[in-house]
A and B are shown apart, each in its own frame.
Chain A
Amino acid sequence: LAKTTQPISMDSYEGQEVNITCSHNNIATNDYITWYQQFPSQGPRFIIQGYKTKVTNEVASLFIPADRKSSTLSLPRVSLSDTAVYYCLVGESVAGNQFYFGTGTSLTVIP
């Protein structure tokens, strides 16, 4: 099971691009990288998932280098509503305890 390392917290001003990097040195060949967002008093919400290179959706981009030992979640032009905890997960499938959330990165967006 590949565990992950993320910064505990980050601050950013409104309108800036935020990049949160996650280290996963022991990622396995079949592992995917998934990011979740969690607001207070809510369950986590899926943001984006990737295997290699770059993935982009309407919410974020995910950059994965060739060695896949890290990944970077990029949030363009953050707003106050992006203040949340962001979790990076690495795993092969949804089966069992392959989903290890860790403590995540608490992002605070400042006006």
Chain B
Amino acid sequence: GAGVSQSPRYKVAKRGQDVALRCDPISGHVSLFWYQQALGQGPEFLTYFQNEAQLDKSGLPSDRFFAERPEGSVSTLKIQRTQQEDSAVYLCASSLDSGQGPTYEQYFGPGTRLTVT
């Protein structure tokens, strides 16, 4: 079946604008993750959902960042009043694992490259 998809693939925002990034996980995957990846760095965890419940949002850098997954499938990462330091690739991943037991592989989308000018 289809993999994880993200939209838009590229987004340019003026400083102060709000943006919304969408993630469509693999159908049936319980877990969904958002990561932020700066140039030359590895992905950094932002937040984690198990179905519709946001179980961990400890990686969100500020209260301008908000994520939701209201029906336990599609997720949206919203950034309010964007700043230049928000420029990065935002990656979404999903996994079959419910968080119990051994680690299962995460399937990543292609990411959304956000540039704040």
Which A residues are closer than 8 A to B by beta carbons?
A: 32, 34, 41-46, 49, 51, 85, 87, 91-104
Contacts and interface: CB of A to CB of B under 8 A. Distances in A.
Interface string B88-117: 000101010101111111111111000000
A41 B42 contact: no
- Name A's interface SS: loop
A40 B39 CA distance: 11
B99 A93 contact: yes
A102 B42 CA distance: 5
Contacts, number: 76
Interface of B: 4, 31, 33, 35, 40-45, 48, 50, 55-56, 58-59, 91, 93, 95, 97, 99-111
A52 to B, nearest CB: 13
A97 B35 CA distance: 10
A96 B42 contact: no
14 contacts: A34-B103, A34-B105, A42-B108, A42-B110, A93-B100, A93-B102, A94-B103, A94-B104, A96-B45, A96-B48, A97-B56, A98-B103, A103-B42, A104-B42
Contacts of B95: 94
